[in-house]
Each structure stands twice: as structure tokens, then as C-alpha cells.
Chain A
Amino acid sequence: MANTTAAMSANSAVTLPKRPNPVMTFVRQQPMGAVSFVVICAMMFAGLFPQFVAPYNPLDIDFSSLLAAPSWDHWFGTDAYGRDIFSRIIYGSRTALVIGFASSALGSSIGAVLGIASAYFGGRIDNWIQRFVDVLLAFPIIVLALVVVAALRKTVVYGVDVNLIIAIAIPILPRVARVVRAAALSVNVMPYIDAARAAGYSDTRIIFRHMAPNVVAPFLIMFTAFIAQAILLEASLSFLGLGVTEPTAAWGLMLSGNAADFYREAPWMVIFPGVAISLAVFAFNLFGDSLRDYLDPRFKT
């Protein structure tokens, strides 16, 4: 009887405790999640207002300090064109966040809906969705993204290539669909889904109101993991000349290009963008984990 309500006997009225502030509860229950959230917020701030954070213009070429080592003038050093690496990382966080976040959100959401629908309807619909997923899964991530990005070309809206987002979202979609379908299958046989059917609710309502919240745990893990993947994928596409192009500041680009030629003499050229990517990936994963625990009412006291 480790039940919280066990002490409260059914015939003694108890006043409802005040709902505590959700932010404070999150910080108290998930300290690591709060730390990662601060990192993500810092990254977002840097992405939104880079001009207030970055000491230099990321595109300014300074031939007087090519490949300068980290110093008080250039915290993270400079690259082969004398551009300030710290400033480029700050500006690069916008690219990373927009592409990573948007494409992972797009791919994971569609994948989740497909996965749940597949589990809920079963039979022929399940079969069709899963075969479609099989086709997508048959291509390696990078190849599939390449095909899509080559077929769609560039469509720039507010300085962001929408088609690049779609290209990265499509390989994410089948992977999320698979995992979410597995989780949804076990939810689908729960009596509360039968109860919803017996109450005559529409399929849409059952899928979104009753099933989706119960597969949120695997969804959040996949979603945050794929933000990291998307950032890497964007970097790879950029390296191949199909994603973000020079001279735009992007973390992936900073790792590729002529960094490969100079990393022995100027290791800061790869270390700092690498750290930035790792930090972002780590922060998103950690935040996803804590959010999952926080959102599960069963973990609440």
C-alpha cells in the first residue's frame, strides 16, 4: 500500500493541495534536465540574437590573423580565413537549431502518427504503412536525404532552406514510425482503449487523445535523439555541397572544408565546433529524458 491516497480514507474529506508551479517542480525533480534546458536556452538566445553575443562578424575575413590560436582577442581562435571561430559558432547555432529542430519535429511527428495509426487500425492499413516504411528504411539515411534534396532543389523561406528540412525529415520518419508502432501496439490492447471504443469515440480522437499521450516516452527519446542526428546530417549534406553553403556559419561546415587540411596545426578549428555539436546533442538528449519522466504522471509524487 505504498499508495499516496491510502492514508486518506474514502469518507474523510481532504482539501486539494495547491498545484505547485510546474517550472519549479521540474527543476526540483529533474535537476539535470534543468541544466540541459539552460544550455538549450543559451543556444536559442545565441541563435536568435547572435549580434549581441558574438564579438565579430562571422563572415569578416582578417588576413592578419589566419589560423590564430585561442587568445583574449579570439577566444576560440580563427580559421584559415582569419574568421573568428567563437563568432561563427554563435551564428552557427541558428542554423543548427532551425534545421535540427524543424526537421526532427517534422519527421518524428509524421512518423509517430503513422506508427500509431498502423498499430490502431492493424490489418491491411498496417500492412501498407509498414511496407512504405520498409521502402524508406531500405535506403541509407544520407543517400535518401541526398535524393530528396537533389530532387526538390532549394526553396528558401526567411533564409532557411525548407527543402533541406524536408530532406532531413524523410529519413527520420520511418525510424520513428517503427519504434512508435511497437509502443502503440502494446497500448492498443489496453482496456482503456477498449473503453474508448465502447464509448463510440472517433478514430481520430482515440489516436490523438488516448493513444498518443501514452507513447510520448519513446516519441520524446526519438525526437531529441534525431535533433542531434539532424544536426549531423545537415553538416554532412553541407559538406557535399547540397546543404548550407559557405560562407554561412554552420557547425557541420566548420568541421569539413579546409578544416581537414589544417587540423594538425590549428586543432581549435575542429575542437570547438565539435564541442558545440556534442554539447547540443547531449543537451537535447538529456532534456528529452527528463521531460519524458516529468510528463509521466506516474512519476509524480
Chain B
Amino acid sequence: MEAQIQTKSRAAQSSVPLLAVEDLHVQFETSRGTVRAVQGISYTVNRGEVVAIVGESGCGKSVSALTMMRLLAKTGRVTQGRILLEGRNLLELTDDEMRAVRGHEISMIFQEPMTSLNPVLTIGMQIMEPLLIHLKMTEEQALVRALELMQQVGITDGERRLSQYPHQLSGGMRQRVMIAIGLACKPKLIIADEPTTALDVTIQAQILELMKNLSRELGIALVIITHNLGIVARYADRVNVMYAANIIEKGTADDIFLKPAHPYTNGLMRSVPRLDEPRGTKLQTIEGLPPDLRMPPAGCRFAPRCPHRIEKCSQPISLIGIGAGHEARCHRVDEIASGKLKVEFPGGGAVNSQAQIGSAPILEVSGLKKYFGVKAAGAGFFSSEMATVRAVDDVSFSIAQGETLGLVGESGCGKTTVGRVVLRLDEATDGSIKFNGTDVTHHSGREMRGLRRKIQVIFQDPYSSLNPRMTVGEIIAEPLKVYGIVPEKKARNDRVGELLSQVGLFPYMAERYPHELSGGQRQRVGIARALALEPSLIVCDEPVSALDVSIQGQVINLLEDLQARLGLTYLFIAHDLAVVRHISDRVAVMYLGKIMELADRDEIYKRPLHPYTKALLDAAPIPDPRVEKARAPRALRGEIPSPLTPPSGCVFHTRCPIALDVCKQSVPPVRELKTSHLVACHRAEEIMEGKVLQGA
């Protein structure tokens, strides 16, 4: 009898979705006008469901989440719409009532685990806080529950962690703590705003796996907000794609990934390099930029960038149903859904005739070491006891003229330091760097001057790599002036215009300041600055990782074009395996300051011989739910050890699934197992012969 009633009430409950967002409008008053950040979005979340909201920066996805929590900045205002949590409109609650909802019924996990934990409170205090406040637990009860939560989120030595402070934990651990706090009061809904964006690929897989399992076991609904289509394929039940303050397509994960109906959704998926696709083709790109939300286009908002726009696209449009629960905001949706119209974007096709790869190495790095001294942990105030961080430990590689060497690894593996030492921004501790056959490791400042012209750099962050006080023209003209390449002012301005056109900008942009440009445009300016000196080698330090997905493809294509046209050589440093695979000829995988494996691109991605390379490839998400769901759950266990105390023997042995005793004792030498396939692993032969790690 009781059971019957329970089933009944559950059935009644499930007819009402847990969360319903109805026709939500949010706008911000800024000094430059009204920004309509969210315009009429509606979606529902059922109990225990994982719903993803995908979109590029500025599309309104985070604003909609903050609105749900009623955490909008003061300038933001909800002008229309309702947010119903189990039928209760959250927008009409008093502040006190809302406080009871936050953290108790809905909790939120933020992107930056570094800054969303309070640095001066212990982990234990921060996990126990919601328990004490919302559930009115006693200290003892809260402590017990905190330990239980730590266990749930996979923190093993909970008791020790409770008294630690956030800075003592790694990024992945901190995100686990954030999740524990989110779970503390057994909420019905967790909103995760870019929960893994700041994390490394192997840690990202761990965290997502954890969140999905928790949601399934505890029946918590999960809203994941992200720009990364890949992670959504594996974990989301339903997906909402946002563009310029609207939801432009919604449907199940299968709908979105297998039968995308909106041209923008198509474009998003095409402009990302993928691990499971043949390469050698250029990425298709969505040209242009998202519209200004102060004056969006009257009709379809994507029309200005859409290759298939027709006259009708200037008419307003709302979501049009295609199948059960699959809707898209496009005038030509029927044509696309029925397959009459094939969505194609500019780009695609074969890469322009590959630059000739010369035989002579342009850059040879051998036995490179870079150690940093830091004050030892636990050293007293007056003590000068130093510890050594082996940022780069015995790294050797060479790059041939016209080639691209990809250097890939997780944060802290030393890949950026390699780039800085090659650029001579940092001095090498040991080893040698030869450029065009000349040893330049210890060149003095004057000797370097000539060399500087030949080795240039493109930085990761287009926001901070341009001097905010100089115009674009001044930034690009400066090297021309300083080196006397183009001494005359008039000619110099012409050359600046030429360089700007070369990177796909317009000469008139020379008058602008960096802050007046978008991220992608700034990165193009950074590329133009590097090109101004007519270098032969460019160190690209994560050149696309700070850019939006649709912009990434544009910049990658540009880099490839320039290489083909100007015969450039790239040292391409990145953490994104798919991007590296797309652009590189050869790839080196780094871990804790050492190169684990170095081989031809296709070779290393098809037949990795190092367990770490295998793990990285396994952890990288693929934007296809069929592929993703067929893959076994995979998460490399553990965390990256501190470079202050690297493990003995093979540095990877602490996380390696096939480590033996010998791996703990001796450092595996770098061996050439196949022609130009270098690997540093004791068991590489067994992996090659398929005896271990088969299909893992």
C-alpha cells in the first residue's frame, strides 16, 4: 500500500519537470547601451537528467545559469519570463527564501576551482558550512557527513584533507572539493559552469566521470554549461545549443551530434579538429564574429555568418520542430533535415600544397635542462634552503626546415618552458640549442639580436600579449623600425597594411587599440607582429587555446596557410591533442619535464607505444555520442606528481597501469624502437607487440 502511494506520487511528480525555464529575457545596462544577454530562452530539466548548454563566449549561457541562482550582477535585470523549480517561480521568491534554495535545492559548481574556494578557510570548514547553515547539523554530524562526501567524490585521505587549505590541493582535487560542497545538502539540481575547462585532459575525464556517476546514483539533475562539444557527447542526455542570446537548436545528444539541423551547430562541429577523422584537410570555418548583442540582426542571428542564407533569413524566426524534442531556429530547417540542403562551410578541401620539408634541421635541441630554484617548503623565514624544480629535464629533439613539431602535454609538464628556453627568454641550465647549425645556447644579448629576427613567438593569451598602450599599427611597425627593415615611415605603413591583410585583417585596423579588437583578431595581430621580422621559426605557445571554437579553426587555417606560403617552421606547443594532430608533422609528448614519446603524427596517434600517450588519447573527448558511448570508461588514476619531488625511475610510474618494479628503480632511456619513433618506456616492446594495454 505504502509502496503504491509512493509510486503514485513519483509519477505525479515526474509529469512536472524539475526545472522549467520559460521565455527568459535578461538584459544588462552598460554605459554603451543595453546588452540583451538572454532573449527568450526556454528549456526543461527532468529529474536525474544531464542537460548541456553549449555555446561560445558571450552567447548568454552563463548569464542564464546565474539568473537561475539569482546571482546576476546589479546591472542585470530579468525583463520577462519565469524559472520554475518544481512549479515554484524562483524569480518571485524573497531574498530569504532564495537563500534557502541556493546550495540546498540547487547548487552551483564554477569554472575556476582556484578562485571559487576561499583561500583562508580550511577545506573541512568549507564543506561543512552548507551543512551547518542549511541542514542545521551539529559540528559532529557535519564532520561525519563531510568525510562521507569526500569519499563520494573520490578523495581518499579525507581526514587529512579536512584541515588543509585550498592552495595545498591540486586543481583536480579542488574541483572535487567544489563538487563535494555542491553535493553537501543533497540538492535536486547541480549547475556546473564550465566545470572542467581549467583542468587537464586526464583530470577532466576523471571529474566528468565522477559527476555523471553521482548524478546517476543520487538522482541529481545536472546542467552542464560548456563551450566544448566533445565532453557533452559522452555525458549529456539532452543538449541546448546557444548562439547570440538564443537557443538555436535543442534535442537529444544523438540528434545534435548525428543529425545537426542548424547550420551553426554544423559549423561548430566542423571547425574543431577531431581525433577520429582522417586529416590532411583544412578545417571548415565559420567566418566573421557573433553579432553585437546591443543591436542584433532583426532576422536570424546567425544569418550574417551563414553560408546558406537566403532572403527569408532576414525575417524573425523561432524554434521549429523537426522530430520528437528536436527543434532548430532556422528558416531552412526542413531542407536541411530532409537532406536536400547539405551544410558546407568555407575551408575544407586539401591543405594548400604542403611546404617542402627540408632535410637539414633548423633547430636542434639536445639534453636541454632547465631547473628553477624555489624556496623549500617548510623552510623557515630566515632559511635559504632551496628546492629545485626540474621544469625541463633532459629533452632532445630537432625540427627540420618547413616542418611543424607538436609539443603536447598537460599543464606543468614543461612544454612552455622548452619554448621559452628556445626563445632565450629563459637561460638553459644545461644542454645545447643549435639554430641552423650554430650553437646559440649561450649567445650574449648582442649576438642574439640577429638571431631574434629568425625565431619569433606567438603567445597563448591574445589579451595580454599586445601592449594595451600601443595601436595595432605601432605594435607591428615597431620591429620594422627598430631593425631598420623598413626605415621610411610611409613605406612602413604600407608594409603594416600588407602584413595585416596577410593575416586576414584590414589595413585600417592599424589605427585601433588592442582592446577594440576581438580575441581572434588580436591573435591575428600577434601573428602579424611575429611575421614582421620575416622569421624562419615560430614558437607557437598554445596559440588557439584561449579562443572560441569557431575562431580556433580560423586561426589554425591561417597558420597552415602561412606555413605553406612562407615556408615557416613551427614549434607548436599545445595541450589539445586534436589540434596538435591536425597541424603537426611530428609530435612529442611531454610529462614532468621529459619527452615520453616522439614520432610521426599518424604513427603516434594510431600506434602509441607509451602508456601515457595512450592514456592521453583515451581521455580526450570525441564529439560523437556513438563513439563515446562505445568507449570504456577511462580515467587515468591519480594526479600529476609535484615537479619538486618527481617520482624515482620512470616519472610516470605512479599513474601507469602497467608499471613494474623496474619502472620505480631505473629511468627508461629514450629508444628508437621503429624508424623515427622514439619512446621512453621499459615495456614499449610489449606494447608494440600487443602483449599489454591491448585496446585499453
Q: A residues touching B (Cβ–Cβ < 8 Å)?
A: 1-11, 13-16, 190-192, 194-201, 205, 209-210, 213-214, 216, 297-298, 300-301
Pick from A6, A8, A191, A300: contact of B461, CB below 8 A: A191
Contact partners of B483 in chain A: CB under 8 A: 200
Extra pairs beyond A10-B505, A195-B526, A199-B452 (17, CB < 8 Å): A1-B291, A1-B292, A2-B293, A4-B516, A6-B291, A10-B287, A14-B508, A191-B464, A192-B466, A194-B459, A198-B425, A198-B457, A200-B451, A200-B452, A209-B478, A214-B467, A301-B32
Pick from B423, B460, B461: contact of A198, CB below 8 A: B423
Contact partners of A13 in chain B: CB under 8 A: 506, 508
Shortest distance from the beta carbon of B375 to any chain A beta carbon, whole Å? 16
Pick from A10, A195, A216: contact of B289, CB below 8 A: A10
Cβ B452 vs Cβ A198 within 8 A: yes
Contact partners of B482 in chain A: CB under 8 A: 199-201, 205
> Which of A191, A198, A298 has most B Cβ within 10 Å?
A198
Beta-carbon contacts of B12-38 to A below 8 Å, as 1s and 0s? Answer: 000000000000000000111001000
Cβ B508 vs Cβ A191 within 8 A: no
Cβ B305 vs Cβ A5 within 8 A: no
Shortest distance from the beta carbon of A236 to any chain B beta carbon, whole Å? 37
Q: Which of B284-314 contact A (CB under 8 A)?
A: 287-295, 304-305
Closest 6 CB pairs of A and B: A200-B452, A7-B292, A1-B58, A191-B465, A213-B469, A9-B288
Q: How far is the CA of A293 from the CA of B392 in the complex (A)?
A: 43
Beta-carbon contacts of B194-221 to A below 8 Å, as 1s and 0s? Answer: 0000000000000000000000000000
Which chain B residue has the least Cβ–Cβ distance from A301? B32
B517 within 8 A of A: yes
Pick from A5, A16, A205, A301: contact of B518, CB below 8 A: A5
Q: How far is the CA of A3 from the CA of B520 in the complex (A)?
A: 12
Shortest distance from the beta carbon of A119 to any chain B beta carbon, whole Å? 16
B513 within 8 A of A: yes
Which chain A residue has the least Cβ–Cβ distance from B515? A298
> Which of A14, A200, A205 has most B Cβ within 10 Å?
A200
Cβ B516 vs Cβ A5 within 8 A: yes
Pick from B57, B304, B457, B470: contact of A9, CB below 8 A: B304
Contact partners of A3 in chain B: CB under 8 A: 292, 516-518
Cβ B289 vs Cβ A191 within 8 A: no
Q: How far is the CA of A10 from the CA of B291 in the complex (A)?
A: 11
B279 within 8 A of A: no
> Which of B451, B455, B508, B516 has most A Cβ within 10 Å?
B516
Shortest distance from the beta carbon of A190 to any chain B beta carbon, whole Å? 5
Q: How far is the CA of A1 from the CA of B290 in the complex (A)?
A: 8
B441 within 8 A of A: no
Beta-carbon contacts of B462-497 to A below 8 Å, as 1s and 0s? Answer: 001111111000000011001100000000000000
B453 within 8 A of A: yes
Contact partners of A195 in chain B: CB under 8 A: 457, 459, 465-466, 526, 529
- Can you name 5 A-B residue pairings with CB atoms under 8 Å? A2-B35, A2-B294, A6-B518, A10-B504, A297-B515
B622 within 8 A of A: no
Which chain A residue has the least Cβ–Cβ distance from B524? A10
Q: Which of B322-340 contact A (CB under 8 A)?
A: none
Shortest distance from the beta carbon of B636 to any chain A beta carbon, whole Å? 31
Assuming the A-B contacts A198-B456, A199-B479, A200-B448, are A6 and B292 also in contact, with contact meaning beta carbons closer than 8 angstroms in the complex? Answer: yes
> Which of A9, A192, A298 has most B Cβ within 10 Å?
A192
Shortest distance from the beta carbon of B72 to any chain A beta carbon, whole Å? 15
B442 within 8 A of A: no
Cβ A297 vs Cβ B289 within 8 A: no
Which chain A residue has the least Cβ–Cβ distance from B456? A198
B533 within 8 A of A: yes
Contact partners of A297 in chain B: CB under 8 A: 468-469, 513, 515
Shortest distance from the beta carbon of A281 to any chain B beta carbon, whole Å? 28
Shortest distance from the beta carbon of B309 to any chain A beta carbon, whole Å? 13
Cβ A7 vs Cβ B291 within 8 A: yes
B521 within 8 A of A: yes
Assuming the A-B contacts A10-B521, A297-B513, are A210 and B452 also in contact, with contact meaning beta carbons closer than 8 angstroms in the complex? Answer: no
Shortest distance from the beta carbon of A232 to any chain B beta carbon, whole Å? 32
Cβ A10 vs Cβ B288 within 8 A: yes
B511 within 8 A of A: yes
Which chain A residue has the least Cβ–Cβ distance from B510? A16
Assuming the A-B contacts A6-B518, A214-B469, are A1 and B293 also in contact, with contact meaning beta carbons closer than 8 angstroms in the complex? Answer: yes
Assuming the A-B contacts A6-B292, A10-B289, are A192 and B464 also in contact, with contact meaning beta carbons closer than 8 angstroms in the complex? Answer: yes
Contact partners of B506 in chain A: CB under 8 A: 13
Assuming the A-B contacts A1-B58, A2-B32, A297-B515, are A194 and B425 also in contact, with contact meaning beta carbons closer than 8 angstroms in the complex? Answer: yes
Contact partners of B31 in chain A: CB under 8 A: 301
Contact partners of A5 in chain B: CB under 8 A: 289, 512, 516-518, 521
Shortest distance from the beta carbon of B86 to any chain A beta carbon, whole Å? 34
Shortest distance from the beta carbon of A79 to any chain B beta carbon, whole Å? 49
Pick from B288, B457, B529: contact of A11, CB below 8 A: B288
B449 within 8 A of A: yes
Q: How far is the CA of A274 from the CA of B615 in the complex (A)?
A: 75
Contact partners of B465 in chain A: CB under 8 A: 190-192, 194-195
Cβ A214 vs Cβ B452 within 8 A: no
Q: How far is the CA of A190 from the CA of B460 in the complex (A)?
A: 12
Contact partners of A301 in chain B: CB under 8 A: 31-32
Which chain A residue has the least Cβ–Cβ distance from B517? A5
Which chain A residue has the least Cβ–Cβ distance from B506? A13
Assuming the A-B contacts A3-B292, A205-B482, are A210 and B516 also in contact, with contact meaning beta carbons closer than 8 angstroms in the complex? Answer: no
Which chain B residue has the least Cβ–Cβ distance from A17? B511
Contact partners of B57 in chain A: CB under 8 A: 1
Contact partners of B30 in chain A: CB under 8 A: 2
Cβ A214 vs Cβ B468 within 8 A: yes
Assuming the A-B contacts A198-B457, A205-B482, are A6 and B464 also in contact, with contact meaning beta carbons closer than 8 angstroms in the complex? Answer: no
Contact partners of B517 in chain A: CB under 8 A: 3, 5
Q: How far is the CA of A297 from the CA of B472 in the complex (A)?
A: 12
Which chain B residue has the least Cβ–Cβ distance from A203? B445
Q: How far is the CA of A7 from the CA of B455 in the complex (A)?
A: 36
Cβ B456 vs Cβ A199 within 8 A: yes
Contact partners of B288 in chain A: CB under 8 A: 9-11
Q: How far is the CA of A70 from the CA of B381 in the complex (A)?
A: 64
Cβ A9 vs Cβ B513 within 8 A: no
Q: Which of B538-565 contact A (CB under 8 A)?
A: none
Cβ B459 vs Cβ A191 within 8 A: yes
Cβ A16 vs Cβ B508 within 8 A: yes
Which chain A residue has the least Cβ–Cβ distance from B423? A198
Q: How far is the CA of A195 from the CA of B459 in the complex (A)?
A: 8
Which chain A residue has the least Cβ–Cβ distance from B533? A199
Which chain A residue has the least Cβ–Cβ distance from B460? A191
Which chain B residue has the least Cβ–Cβ distance from A199? B479
Contact partners of A9 in chain B: CB under 8 A: 287-289, 304-305
Pick from B289, B452, B505: contact of A6, CB below 8 A: B289
Contact partners of B292 in chain A: CB under 8 A: 1, 3, 6-7
Contact partners of B35 in chain A: CB under 8 A: 2
Q: How far is the CA of A11 from the CA of B533 in the complex (A)?
A: 26
Shortest distance from the beta carbon of A22 to any chain B beta carbon, whole Å? 14
Which chain B residue has the least Cβ–Cβ distance from A14? B508
Q: How far is the CA of A210 from the CA of B474 in the complex (A)?
A: 11
Contact partners of A194 in chain B: CB under 8 A: 420, 423, 425, 457, 459, 465
Cβ A15 vs Cβ B508 within 8 A: yes
